[in-house]
Each structure stands twice: as C-alpha cells, then as structure tokens.
Amino acid sequence: MRIAVFGAGALGSVFGAILSRKNEVLLITRGEHLRAIKERGLKVEGHTEGIFHLPAENHYPGGYELIILTVKAYQIKDVVNDIRKEYDGEPIITFQNGVGIVDLLKNFDVIPGVTTHGATLLSPGVVKHAGIGDTYIGEKKGEISERIVHIARNFTECGLKTEIVNDIMERRWIKAAINACINPLTAVLNVKNGELLDEKLSKIVKCVADECSEILAERGIIADIYSLAMDVIRKTKENNSSMLQDIKRRRKTEIDFIAKPFIKKRCNKVLYHMVKFLESRLRDSL
C-alpha cells in the first residue's frame, strides 16, 4: 500500500517507520526534521529501532492510497488546504488528540482513529518510540467495512497492532478526556506523567476526571475516566506529555481541543487558563 504520513513529527515518524516494513511510505514534514531525514534518514530509538531511509516532502503530492494525519489539531485547517490541491478521494485516518477533528475534515473520506503510543522528537531526524500503546480504527457510523479490515491487517502485520472497533467516536471522546487529565497538569507543572501518581496531584487528576465523566455522561458515554487516566499515567510514567513537549519547544498546544470541550466546573477551567497563559507568555518572549 502507498501511504502518506502527513505531519511526520514524533508520532508520525514512528508510525511511518513501522509501516514502511510492508508499505511504500512518504513522510510529509518540514524544517530541520525534513532536511535531516533527506540527508541522513530517519533514526528511531526506543521500542522501535533503526535508521529508515524514507522519501520525505513538505507537501502532499497526491497519488497515495491512504493518508495518515498526525499533525497538531490546530493545524488541521492549513492541512486541509494543502491536501485539497491533490486530493482524489483517498481515505484519511486521523490520529489527532482531542475532539472536533472529524468535523473539521467533513469534506474528506475520514476514518477516525485512536492511539496511545508515545513518541518524542529528540532532535531533527531522530525520534524515540517512547511507549507502546493501543491503536484503534473504525468507520464513523460503526460498520465493519472491507477497507477497515484490510488496513487493520496491514498495520498489524507491520508491527503496529491495530484493532477494529464499532464505537470509535466514543473512544475518541474518552481518549480526549484522559488527555485532559494528564496533559495540562504536566505542562503547567513541567513534570513527567509519573509525577501525577503523587497523592496530592492525583487528587487534582480526580477532580478533572470527575468533570470529564460528567460531560461524557451528558453525551451518553459512561466511563470511569479517573481509573483509565491513572492506568495510562502508570504505563507512561517516564513520558513527557505531548503538551509539555509543545511548551518546552515554545509551540502552541492542543489545549483548545483537549481541555476546552470538558470545561464545566472549576478544575478543567483553571488548567485551561493556566496553559493558555503559558502559551501567551512563551509567544511574547519570542
């Protein structure tokens, strides 16, 4: 299969490397990361290791059978304009954090996805596969289509175990809620995920989780977000969350797609505004 990974930063690069074992993969990225991949290849460390000599471009050239979208959520509108130039109806799997992404891609053939794999960009051309997680894909309406079966089998044979589910949109909301419990707090405190296991901080996690569970229940989604979040924290205790990585690199975060949809009472609202403050302070210092 010819696969284009649009937004080949940390996670996209890891996925591209893994999928290149049985597919023709194009990485779409930019800046120093793009130059390094073109000159030296993509180096992956951690749970996946090796140097992968993959073609890389800064735009989508068209002609691929599948697009995997791993850009930041706030970059979707710009990406839509880029893809549209050469788009010919090929399916797009979206793995962004947060909710509202599928709606932004309503004019494309979208396959929603969820993944809990962890990845870190160490330096241009070098990424770390920091944590092995679960990957799910499914059709928006829940049917088990032939193409979903084919894609999941392909990914799994490459080493990226992928499960087909009929409730993918619910899972995206649950994943966003779990991220809301972890990412903003680690970004504000500048700590690894595992620090949230501390008794005092876990109480804040519980406050956020309870608010998220309330919002989900209003949508008919029943989930114990606190237990799920604490399980992810334990499994990824050595990881820096993607939001903390963004703050450290002085980049905009995905806070509007992760925490904002769950603002109901105090905890999510406080963390949301604290992250927005960090963003503005970093922006002003540039």
Which residues carry out catalysis?
175
Backbone angles phi, psi at 164, to 5 degrees: -90, 135
Angle between helices 225-235 and 199-218 in degrees, nearest 10 = 130
- Could you tell me which residues come within 8 angstroms of residue 231 by beta carbon, excluding any fewer than 6 positions away? none
Q: Which two tokens stand for residue 105?
A: 């891609």
| Pairing relationship of beta strands 126-131 and 118-123 according to DSSP bridges | antiparallel
Question: What whole-number distance in Å separates Cα of residue 242 and Cα of residue 225?
Answer: 19
At 82, list the tokens: 């880029």
Q: Closest Cα partner for 176 from 235, 115, 119?
A: 115
H or E element that contains 100:
none
**CA distances from residue 183 to 14, 56, 78, 107, 228 in whole angstroms, order as listed:** 20, 30, 24, 30, 14
* Nearest partner of 104 among 257, 216, 255, 251, judged by Cα: 257
| φ, ψ (nearest 5 deg) of residue 144 | -95, 95
The token duo for 93 is 């799997």
Give CA–CA dist 260/269, Å, rounded.
8
